[in-house]
Amino acid sequence: MSGVLSSKKTLIGSIAAALAIICGLLVYGILVTPARQPYRDAQAQFQNVDNALGRTNISLNASEATDEEFAQGITAVRAAFVSLEKENEALGDESVLKEGEGKALYDAYNEDLKRFIAYNTNVIDSMEKLQPVLRKCSTEMQTVKANAEGAAVVRACAVEMQAVSDAPDEDYAQLATAFAAKYDELATILDQMAGIADTNSAEYAALSTQREAVLEDFSTASSTFTKNVQQRRTAVLATDSAKALHDYLEAKSRVF
């Protein structure tokens, strides 16, 4: 009988101890949760910024979109970045990010995010500036002939492309400059070809070879542009500040 009582006492004691721990945790949670709430608010706003960042990833499909579709895409991207800036401003207004470690982490994140926004704003402005000229000249290049008229068309493209070589983004500016030079070079070759009556002559064949080489240079310039854009974009996105801020807010938001 004493053994049974002893077991009951042990069981009762274990239950009492468990209840005491649970009650202690509940009391701890009640006391601690209000102190954690500002961090939870900041964490929720950080997620709003991250969501807004995701909405900036809009494909403009510049090579296939109509002028109207491209314009609509540009408008949508600009609106997405305005939204991102507003959400980030709201994050900076969170009380736990205005002093101490929270402020230091937010300042680093804010600097990187502003750099990302500035880069993409320059890209959007550059795309909008170059798109009409690229579309027009690419279309004309499909039917241009080796005569004086063809040379005039290509030379006009050189002038128009040079006029947009002041694009705010470095990679787009370099592409415009490279294309302008190649259009000018091609126009000179077409002028020379137009002046040769015998299209079967060695001189004409040599100029044809030069023309093909210049056309290949356009492809090379485009490939270089694509590579540079990818590298620069990767560099802009490569940052640990977002993770550091996220981890800080997550740790500070925990009750237990």
For residue 242 the two structure tokens come to: 């977002």
Q: CA–CA separation, 127 vs 168, rounded Å?
A: 10
What is the pLDDT confidence band of residue 119, given thresholds at 50, 70 and 90?
very high
Q: Is the pTM of this model over 0.95?
A: no
Query: Is pLDDT of 178 > 90?
Result: yes
> In the chain, what percentage of residues exceed pLDDT 90?
76
Per-residue pLDDT band at 1 (split at 50, 70, 90): very low
d(CA 204, CA 189): 10
Cα 127 to Cα 106: distance, rounded to the nearest angstrom: 31
The pLDDT value given to residue 58: 85
What pLDDT score was predicted for residue 9? Answer: 53
- pLDDT tier at 63 (50, 70, 90 boundaries)? confident
Rg (CA), the chain: 32
What pLDDT was estimated at residue 176? 97
129-166, pLDDT tens digit by residue?
Answer: 999 999 999 999 999 999 999 999 999 999 999 999 99
pLDDT given for residue 5 in this prediction: 47
Does 26 score more than 80 pLDDT? Answer: no
**Residue 10 pLDDT level (bands cut at 50, 70, 90):** low
Give the pLDDT of residue 19. Answer: 52
Tell me the per-residue pLDDT of 211-232, one tens digit each, with 9 for 90 and over: 999 999 999 999 999 999 999 9
Over the stretch 190-214, which tens digit does the pLDDT of each residue have?
999 999 999 999 999 999 999 999 9
Structure tokens at 248: 């800080």
Burial of 176-192, coded b for 16+ CB within 10 Å and e otherwise, reads: bbbbbbbbbbbbbbbbb
Residues 28-49 pLDDT 10s: 344 446 678 999 999 999 999 9
Phi, psi (rounded to 5 degrees) for 119: -60, -50
Give the mean pLDDT of 71-80.
94
Read off the pLDDT band of 24 (50, 70, 90).
very low
Rounded CA-CA distance 43/140 in Å is 53
Average pLDDT of the chain is 88
